[in-house]
Amino acid sequence: MSDFVDKKRISKKDAVILIILFLVVVFIFFPRRKTLKDGGTTAYDSCFGGIIYTVEQRHRLQDDGYYENGIVIYIAGIEVYNDSSIDYSVPAETRSSDVESLMAEIDRTVYSS
């Protein structure tokens, strides 16, 4: 009976390796939250820039003024789920004159170079 118990014991070295491996796996899969400045999209991705996975909860303002809403999931950079759509039933909000003048100034600065 004592031989069986002795064979099942884990050495301290193996225990440390298992703990470090567990912490690395938790670190890799623990999500980071990023709020994008495109109208309200929130992205959750793994460490290392979303190489393993990315989940986007989209609320993205399109060029025509309507919002794209939905959820998009990427695994290893490949889109595996896309439930986003542009809702044309809600009227587009108009931009203020301040925003329009800033956008025009940015366009002049970027495209004049």
Q: Structural domain boundaries of the chain?
A: 32-112
Task: Output the pLDDT for position 37.
Answer: 84
Task: Output the pLDDT for position 50.
Answer: 76
Task: Output the pLDDT for position 7.
Answer: 60
Task: Output the pLDDT for position 94.
Answer: 54
Task: Output the pLDDT for position 91.
Answer: 61
Task: Output the pLDDT for position 44.
Answer: 92
Task: Output the pLDDT for position 79.
Answer: 94
DSSP string, 44-56: EE-TTTTSSEEEE
Task: Output the pLDDT for position 92.
Answer: 58
Task: Output the pLDDT for position 6.
Answer: 53
Q: What angle do CA 77, 36, 73 make, to 5 degrees?
A: 30
Give the mean pLDDT per block of 10 residues along the chain (113 residues). 58 91 86 86 84 89 82 93 85 62 78 68
Minimal CA–CA distance to 59: which of 79, 87, 100, 32? 87
Task: Output the pLDDT for position 93.
Answer: 60
